[in-house]
Structure 1
Amino acid sequence: ADAAAIALTTDADTFRIAHATGPASPLRDKTFAIGDLPMGKETLSGRPARFENIFDSKDGPNPAAAYLMADPVRGVAIIPLLRRGERIGAIAVGSRAPRLFSDAEVARLETLADLLAVALANAELVETLRQAEWRFRTLFRAAPDAVLTMFESGRIREANDAVRDVLGVYSLQAIGRTLDEFAVPVERARVKRELARAFAGEAVRFEARFQREGTVHTLSLAARLLPEATPPTVLCVGRDVTTERDMRARLVETERLAAVGQLVAGVAHEVNNPLSTISAFAQLLLRDGGLSPDQRESIDVIQGETVRASQVVKDLLTFARRSESQPQPLDLNELIERTVRVSSYELGGKQIVVQTMLAPLLPCVHGDPRQLQQVILNLVTNAVQAMAADGSGTLRITSRAEGDKVVLEVADTGPGVPERARAHIFEPFFTTKSEGTGLGLSVSYGIVTAHGGSITIARTSRDGTVFRVTLPCDDDAVGETLSLASESVEPALEGVRMLFVDDEPALRSAMLAFGKLRSLAVTTAHDGNAALSFVRELEFDVVVCDLRMPGMDGPAFFDVLSRERPSLASRTIFVTGDVVGEASRLFLDSSSQPVLSKPFEFEKLEEAILGLMTQSLEAVQAW
């Protein structure tokens, strides 16, 4: 034969000349409609065909002839290619001279066609396998989670690119090492046990802590034995869930704090009311001129302890209160003292000595008291945790003014901040301690920055660490603070008619005794409804009313009073023993009436009453 060609079907209607030699070479890689060529027609028929001179065929024009005019092929034999009964193409041999191929030659060509069909099938299988392997490799390398295969010895056989984000090494560096090498020491035995369970045929899921670039991370791992793998191989998929766990813990902590805040608010109300009664009677006793020095000293102690207990409750309320940022002029020293009081029990239990060196006459800062107290508390907590390993230590808190800045420093005697951690100390979720979420310092950084200040590590060594917070002064608040401090009021309230509304019987009794001592005409009511009955029948100069009471509470009473007796409503003082919620805060802001926190000092109450009476008198005179 002078020429040969192999044609393969590409779809139901066309085929391509996959290979051609001799005079048929111009046909290579050409595509034709199956019905246009003798090869296509014989492919469809599934039967061999012979032509002594293809140009004498009565099948009509042959599109391939145009490619063969320079060196025409005349004698042709065509054998279909069959694969499991499927027609996949044909082979053709030809000669330049007219010739009719013999039956023996056709039989040999059919044998060759069978071998070629098998070879093509094998080639297609190899290509399919190659494509499948390429897809597997691509999926394996591009998987977002770390994917590893391991031998029964525990050594890593394969690792994808994501192992870099999970174990901290590149895939080639992981191969040949064991997975437990990357775990923290206390977790290595458990990692080995879990992988042994996987090699025993169990589907294993577990979490363990691993070291990565000097920090500890929590990984969630799933391992399973690959079926029919030789040698036995386990597939392991791992994901870093440290951030998820920290966020979940933070959410739980936030919900817990919210519940604690609600509990504190309720407890505060129940605690402040009896404290108010104790304080009131102690103040009344102190006004008795017949007390001996010892008796007066004892009552002073009672009064002082009442004030201290009340301050602790107020500090807890301030910390637990959840509200929007409310910037105002602040005395940073007062915030420091309040935070130390809140933390005193924990500090005493850990044998930590607290030293405060607060500058007198410290300029005010402008900020949100709750947020800045959170910063101080975070720094104190951080210092306490740093000294926890030693079981004792010294916490030193200092404040001072530097130019137009106020500086707060919190120092501890802990082991210091490791050098590698200093650049990350204010990053969220970064921590060098086994306890905590790693959010305290990052939250503090955000708060201080929002207040126009800065927070830094002033110095750190094996002898301890000093954190420094710098905040801008609020110069506008200085004159205001001094003027308030210099005011002195000498109340003169004899004969004033006061309506006192509170649900606590003991406190109402104390107020009656106070009125008798100060020559006030005091009428008491246990709720708003009872108070309205008195208002409708009697005349009063001033009303002192609790905010929260069973039945008609303070805001509801004030609303009715404003409609029926607007002038008396303008002379109303509110008292409260619990946290002021958002609704109460909006009410107090809209009413613009004075508010006293329980337990209150009688002097403060007298000043408030005198202030309202003076305003009322000035309004009448102006009218």
Structure 2
Amino acid sequence: MEASSSPIFNKKGELTGSVHIIKDISKRKEEELQQQQLRNKAEMSSRLAAVGEMAAGIAHEINNPLTGVIGFSELLLEREDLPDDIKANLKIINDGSQRAKEIIKRMLTFARQTTPQMSRVNITELINHTLELRNYVLATANIKIVKDYDATLPWVVADPGQLQQVFLNLIVNAEYAMKKAHDKGVLTIKTEKLDGYVRISVKDDGPGMPEEIRKKLFQPFFTTKEPGEGTGLGLSLSLGIIQEHTGTIRAESEEGKGTTFIIELPIASDTDKIAEITPEAEPPRSVVKAKVLVVDDEPSIRLLIKTILTQNGHVVEECDDPRKALEKLMATAYDVILLDIRMPGMSGIELYRNILTKIPDMALSVIFITGDTSDEATREYLSAHQTPYISKPFNRKTLETKVDEILGRKA
């Protein structure tokens, strides 16, 4: 309510009365709140976009050296002439590199550079599968799981891998809060059907949080964890994923009363058109001994590919200059051409266009190599031309499988 008063004076200046006005301004306040919420949402979207661009750029720069670390550590682990202590050290290197690879994947997902693979999802099953990943840790932390599932819960349309990432993040955060508060706890996960939506609630009995912290939860790099224990990207990533699924996520919390994260996702309708996701059969290993050209400006990646494919009996040539590579291709026929997309002087896409124009028969031999899946133009080009590609960092099996696919087409 808004109140105002105005005095009434006669000609002599004497006070003879007053006018009092009381207005109901609840609608105006509601509109102001909505506008503020829109401003907050726009500011958050801007922050997510800026951090997303930065994350994608960092990921691309790290993927190049990481490819060599993962690839060569795998090759060394396959050797039988190395002492066990050396192999143990190599496994630590490889495991650490794989962990870095997963962090980069999370950063690219945060940057919304991975396309969701949508399918009909049973939320209850997905939550149970996620809990299985943490069963041992939760049990040893004396955390009891309470499941309050709606037995009639309908399906939703979602990327199960991305949703599982959100659920796992919320479970790990709850686990951390309860352990820090009292070395035990109760984690309650509830599902229920609303009008057109499925609601998932993840509740802990931890210490809760004040309003000023709750407001910052979804900001990139904001964390309440100790240094080294969290990146501050988990909830920002979760927000991005849920928004991609046209859903909402929010937190409810009071100091001393725990925290509840609430996710709401639209129910799948009968008219939703979802592509069937079927696992691709692994192609048989090719017995063809091929002539291969590797074009990449990174020496470690050229050497890794050459080492792997030479061990498989292929003849491998390498080149760090796309222009010189074009000269080679004009003079010699190659069965497989592994082509990095981002190179100085001439990009891999430019070289591919030259191949299409001047030696079109060799275009079917091309496999792109890229650590730059964050670039929209690159993604659109790969999709439009349906050209095979390998994302950095890759391992031996990924490389061998893609080469065998190309050779299989020619058999």
Using structure 2 for the length normalisation, give the TM-score. Answer: 0.66
Cα distance, 1:510 vs. partner? 2.1
Answering whether residue 27 of structure 2 is matched by residue 161 of structure 1, we say: no
CA contact (8 A) 1:500 1:544 kept: yes
TM-fit CA distance, 1:283 = 2.0
Q: Which of 270, 273, 276 is residue 61 of structure 2 equivalent to?
A: 270
Aligned to 1:252: 43
The within-5 A match list for 1:55-70 is none
Quick one: which of 563, 566, 572 aligns to 2:366? Answer: 572
Q: Distance in 2 between matches of 1:538 and 1:399?
A: 64
Please tell me whether residue 291 in structure 1 is matched to residue 50 in structure 2.
no
1:262, distance to aligned residue in structure 2 (A): 1.2
1:118-137 matches, within 5 Å, as none
**SS of 1:321's equivalent?**
coil
Partner of 1:529: 323
Shift of the alpha carbon at 1:408? Answer: 6.4
1:409-424 equivalence runs, <5 A: 410-414=202-206
Give the counterpart of 2:94 among 303, 311, 328: 303
Q: Say whether residues 1:317 and 2:108 are aligned partners.
A: yes
- Distance of 2:401 and 2:86 partners within structure 1: 27
Q: Which amino acid aligns with 2:202?
A: V
1:612 alignment partner, one of 402, 406, 410: 406
Assess if the C-alpha contact under 8 Å between 2:188 and 2:204 holds in 1: no
RMSD: 5.3
Task: For residue 552 of structure 1, give the secondary structure of its aligned residue in structure 2.
Answer: coil
Query: Which residue of structure 1 aligns with residue 278 of structure 2?
Result: 480
Q: Quick one: distance in 2 between partners of 1:397 and 1:609?
A: 48
Q: Deviations over 1:46-65 (max 9, x none)?
A: xxxxxxxxxxxxxxxxxxxx
Residue identity matched to 2:369: V
Aligned partners of 1:283 and 1:382: how far apart in 2? 33
CA separation of 1:250 and 1:352: change in aligned 2, threshold 3 A: farther
- Whose RCO is larger (CA < 8 A, sep 6+)? 2
Unmatched tracts of structure 1, length 5 or more: 1-144, 152-156, 168-216, 218-239, 342-350, 358-363, 401-405, 418-430, 618-623
Residue 241 (structure 1) shift: 4.8
Contact 2:367 2:387 in 1 (8 A): yes
Equivalent position to 1:542, from 336, 342, 359: 336
For the pair shown, the structure with the greater C-alpha radius of gyration is 1
CA distance in 2, matches of 1:608, 1:600: 11
- Cα offset, 1:501, TM superposition: 1.6
The structure 1 residue matched to 2:214, chosen from 431, 435, 439, is 435
Q: CA deviation digits over 1:481-526, x for unaligned, max 9?
A: 3xx4xx4555245631111121212221222322332222111222
1:122 is matched with none
- Pairing of 1:389-408 with structure 2 (within 5 A): none
TM superposition shift of 1:609: 0.9
CA distance 1:317–1:535, change in 2 (3 Å): same
CA drift of 1:309 comes to 0.6
- State the SS of the aligned residue for 1:570: helix
- Normalising by the residue count of structure 1, what TM-score does the alignment of the two structures yield? 0.46
Say which of 564, 580, 595 aligns to 2:389: 595
Q: 5 Å matches for 1:30-49?
A: none
Work out which of the residue numbers 485, 498, 503 in structure 1 matches 2:292.
Answer: 498
Rate the CA distance shift 1:165–1:509 in 2: closer, same or farther, 3 A.
same
- Name the CA shift for 1:415/1:551 in 2 (closer, same or farther; >3 Å): same
Measured at CA, do residues 412 and 589 of structure 1 come closer, stay the same or move farther in structure 2, by a change above 3 Å? same
Q: Aligned to 2:367, what secondary structure does the other structure show?
A: strand
CA contact (8 A) 1:282 1:299 kept: yes
Whole-angstrom distance in 2 between the partners of 1:589 and 1:567:
20
Counterpart position of 2:355: 561
Asked if structure 2 preserves the Cα contact closer than 8 Å seen for 1:547 and 1:553, the reply is yes
**How many Å separate the matches in 2 of 1:276 and 1:356?**
42
Equivalent pairs, count = 353
CA contact (8 A) 2:179 2:185 kept: no
| Identity level (%) | 27
SS at match of 1:543: strand
Unpaired runs of 5+ in structure 2? 8-18, 135-140, 148-154, 192-197, 219-235
Tell me the residue number matched to 1:515. Answer: 309
Per the alignment, do residues 605 and 438 of structure 1 end up closer, same or farther by CA in structure 2, a change over 3 Å counting?
closer
Aligned to 2:118: 328
Assess, with a 3 A threshold, how the Cα gap between structure 1 residues 436 and 409 changes in structure 2: closer, same or farther. closer
Written as runs of structure 1 = structure 2, the 5 A alignment for 1:340-489 is 366-368=157-159, 372=163, 376=167, 410-414=202-206, 435-436=214-215, 465=260, 467=262, 480-481=278-279, 484=280, 487-489=281-283
Find the partner of 1:585 among 379, 387, 391: 379
